[in-house]
A = this chain, B = another copy of it.
């Protein structure tokens, strides 16, 4: 039976959730297929069966798993004969750090820069939910946060310095080849690309070139999703 993944969807079928992209990449690393079921912010009843309200939710036969990190672990455990997402035991710890860095620095850094673009690219029915929840988290109106993005992006680029320094030494975060570490970080840029034309990086930034390479990984998986040029 085909696995199912519940996936956040915006207007025009845009699949933008960075966490759901992590699950897409995790499946690609394993060479596994899944049916992606679109869910709008205001359709959380679709995943009520999972006992919580956030995507991605993976359903594999009788098993239901949520949270991209937990899903990746599940896939490695359930399909040990396929390529490993996490590698040996020592890898998992440092990959968790990468996951946290992607969430706390990259994703949280990008959010205020594209918040209005996300608002405009989701279904009208989702806008009230998005505005209320995000304005509470960010302590301000979407439109006001948006006006600060040109100054804010300068600080954001600085916070990427550890990634930049790493990519100056090796082609991918994982080393010679793209691995799940790359996918976790790239998922944040893919999220932005699907929803926003805002220029997050300078063209001569090593992260810019890495991002292009990531679009081509896994037979162009990320590129196959419509989005704005970087």
A interface vs B, CB < 8 Å? Answer: 87-98, 100-101, 103-105, 161-163, 165-166, 169-170, 172-176, 179, 181
Contacts and interface: CB of A to CB of B under 8 A. Distances in A.
Given A89-B175, A104-B162, A94 B94 contact: yes
A31 to B, nearest CB: 17
By DSSP majority rule, is chain A's interface helix, strand, loop, or mixed?
Answer: helix
Contacts of A92: 175
Given A88-B87, A90-B174, A174-B93, A100 B162 contact: yes
A90 B166 contact: no
A90 to B, nearest CB: 4
Contacts of A174: 90, 93-94
A89 B175 CA distance: 8
A174 to B, nearest CB: 4
B97 A179 contact: no
